[in-house]
A and B are shown apart, each in its own frame.
Chain A
């Protein structure tokens, strides 16, 4: 109506109330009082004029009252003027260009630009076109516009970065740019399989079409996927994703100075470790580079901060939200050695707060210890599951605070299936089950001392296929189980860590057990003491290299951390177009939700209801003045 839309159109029905004064006016058009009078002719001259005025006043009063009621109904209906671009009937085209480093192979990005330009020109005339770039994050470079030269110029300025591919973010951003309109997302990408996390799916409204512009992928790629310090030097891991053997030379630099060259030969689809013997300083930066003329560029160099690694953050989900009660022993163990020498930094939250933790809390090198599920809502469960999918490590200690049903719903496939004990049983001891498991192997001969602790209550664990029983109780029941999850690691301990079902925390093996288990969960990333490009904290450039960060709050010291590309992006394995589309959920209601959100946003910005109410008050004030004069 007049370009207006309404958030609550139902209130417009209240405008029918405006008929009330009209009806009253019609019913009471004449004064109630009728006087049959003889000398009416004596009223003729003077009253005619007043009657005319009176009729005019009555019409004016009627108009004012009707207007007040209509404006009131309008105000309650929360009017707004839809965003012009959103209200446009023309569909929108968003060209989303993959700028991850998997498009950094020679000639690849030129082809991507070409495909993007074609997509812009192919968009029908009269349709706005926007440009998005995506890697770990998705950014709208040019908002939908009719100015196509602007979009083409922006395409020319695009460059591949060092980020990894995340299709979910790309699709979400494109859908947001399209808003409530119809549209098309043209995805210019190499259809890299690692662009979807395990089990991840993208979502697009049903009115948004998707086109794939396949850039293609190089035939192979050599990448330095790992670099770590070892006794007497460093060791780099070179992976060959090509179909043929690859040979070359790896070059070490330490603090910018050459540190050695080592040849390597890598079979197709394999990896090789390239050791460098070098006297390394206690602090500094090292890097190993290779040449890969046909593959991706960003993964040809790996950085290593030589500074001692920062304490690994451990997030504990406890009943108290702190390190007391059920998390007392855990907190004490992780903080042993004081702030200067602690390998871990301990941080606890209540289950109810898990779902609302900011993204920075879920950095990939953090391990999460789940001690209780009381108050863990669906958002919290989803946050934990997503953390694991992204490669995080989850340690579940089944104790009094764990709800078996909640635990089963935590991961897909009801993976964590336990039965809680109802009473104490005969005391059991802990026995390593898989001597080759890194946790047990790290404990070495001391693993035999795990049997000193006594376990009065243990949970019965249903071990799914593919899971690894790392340790068991003396009755053969699984005690420590590792679950197979692509990308992340999940360990389940069948008893608590709080000295309620056992006396494990009171024994010396408690601390090394925890250290090795949590260290295992963080995996080799913990040893890198660094970040992936897509996970850098605020203030850290999202580019490969070694950066200096404050060592701790208020300490004034700095520590170096390495920022490297995500090694998963080095794998050029591709999806087919149909495999890619299969991972996209077409949502019918998403559009509506987005349209509603856009409407709410427009209305909140415009606040037209306020002006309508002011008008109502003004009209009522005028009406009262006119009505008084009519008396």
Chain B
């Protein structure tokens, strides 16, 4: 348990840090960074790795003209090289009211905040720029990405100030942010995705279209995954206030089918779109969940 329950450090669990400290989170696609980093950069420069030839355009650096190609073709071509760089990572944390549900020690929001903090730590250690956006049906809070050493603290402070918002509308902020992104970077969505799956997937694909690497952490409470209720209860929607009286024994199968269907759809369609999808059960220790994901992702490189 975090020894700092009341300040911004409460979301940065030493246990988690200890686990993931040796791992890194690399972008799968090429990202546009401004520093040398772990990630492949689209920009060609002083790297030793030859990438490709491109026809000379007025304004290109003359020193990059490959004179041998000119000799052979009597045309001017410049040589492009691979260059590794850092990236901009945007942590998108869903703070809609549905994230306030929690059957265990932490709500989904708290769990998601811990996840965001952990990822922010990782990014910061990698000298990647990391920023934070809190949203419900609109962008509520924004911390621009930065790789400065003190930015992690700013990230943690931003996280601590986040409060539960209103209704969920994941797609709207996604489109909004996707349009605003200048560089290709990494987008990490931390949300329970209890929204229209089609709209969410479309919003995430928007990021892919803009060239960013997207990771989705689908945060769900254990109760939401397994529906362990026994007693006839009045289920009240956290966001809409809608009430449904149900006998769990009679509705469990239907619910599980729906939930499995939702999860399966996300996994399937996001995977097809080249988006990493990770289902996170809040009853699982965050360190284990994150380590498992990062290790798995690391093996894919």
User: Could you tell me which A residues sit within 8 Å of B by CB distance?
Assistant: 30-31, 33-48, 50-51, 54
Q: Which residues of B contact A38 (CB under 8 A)?
A: 98-99, 101, 108, 192, 194, 221, 224, 237-239
A36 to B99, CA, bound (A): 12
Which of A31, A46, A48, A51 is the one whose CB lies under 8 Å from B255?
Answer: A46
User: Could you tell me which B residues sit within 8 Å of A by CB distance?
Assistant: 98-99, 101, 108, 192, 194, 221, 223-224, 229, 231-240, 242-247, 250-251, 254-255, 258-259, 262
Q: Which residues of B contact A33 (CB under 8 A)?
A: 231-234
Which of A43, A50, A54 is the one whose CB lies under 8 Å from B235?
Answer: A43
Nearest CB of A to B252, in Å: 9
A45 to B244, CA, bound (A): 10
Given A39-B259, A42-B259, A34 and B247 contact (CB-CB distance below 8 Å)? no
29 residue pairs bridging A and B, Cβ less than 8 Å apart = A34-B236, A35-B234, A35-B236, A36-B101, A36-B236, A37-B236, A37-B238, A38-B98, A38-B108, A38-B192, A38-B194, A38-B221, A38-B224, A39-B98, A40-B236, A41-B237, A42-B254, A42-B255, A42-B259, A43-B244, A43-B255, A46-B250, A46-B254, A46-B255, A47-B244, A47-B250, A50-B246, A50-B250, A54-B245
Given A45-B254, A47-B244, A54 and B234 contact (CB-CB distance below 8 Å)? no
- Residue of chain A at shortest CB distance from B247: A50
Q: Which residues of A contact B251 (CB under 8 A)?
A: 43, 46-47, 50
Q: Is the CB of A51 within 8 A of B246?
A: yes
A46 to B259, CA, bound (A): 13
Question: Which of B233, B240, B245 has the largest count of A CB atoms less than 10 A from its CB?
Answer: B245
A41 to B254, CA, bound (A): 12
Q: Is the CB of A37 within 8 A of B235?
A: yes
A240 to B250, CA, bound (A): 105
A139 to B121, CA, bound (A): 115
Q: Is the CB of B194 within 8 A of A30?
A: no
Which of A36, A37, A42, A54 is the one whose CB lies under 8 Å from B247?
Answer: A54
Q: Which residues of B contact A42 (CB under 8 A)?
A: 254-255, 258-259, 262
Q: Is the CB of B238 within 8 A of A51?
A: no
Q: Which residues of A contact B232 (CB under 8 A)?
A: 31, 33, 54
Nearest CB of A to B261, in Å: 9
Q: Which residues of B contact A40 (CB under 8 A)?
A: 235-238, 240, 242-244
Q: Is the CB of B101 within 8 A of A37?
A: yes
Q: Is the CB of A47 within 8 A of B101?
A: no
Question: Which of B101, B229, B244 has the largest count of A CB atoms less than 10 A from its CB?
Answer: B244
A50 to B251, CA, bound (A): 8
Which of B238, B245, B246 is the one whose CB lies under 8 Å from A36?
Answer: B238
Q: Is the CB of A30 within 8 A of B235?
A: no
Nearest CB of B to A379, in Å: 68
Q: Is the CB of B244 within 8 A of A44?
A: yes
Q: Is the CB of B244 within 8 A of A34?
A: no
Q: Which residues of A contact B245 (CB under 8 A)?
A: 30-31, 47, 51, 54
Q: Which residues of B contact A50 (CB under 8 A)?
A: 246-247, 250-251
Q: Which residues of A contact B239 (CB under 8 A)?
A: 38
**Which 9 pairs between the two chains have the least Cβ-Cβ distance?**
A47-B246, A46-B254, A40-B237, A38-B98, A33-B233, A42-B258, A47-B251, A38-B101, A37-B235
A304 to B48, CA, bound (A): 164
Q: Which residues of B contact A46 (CB under 8 A)?
A: 246, 250-251, 254-255
A38 to B102, CA, bound (A): 10
Nearest CB of B to A46, in Å: 4
Nearest CB of A to B281, in Å: 14
Q: Which residues of A contact B236 (CB under 8 A)?
A: 34-37, 40
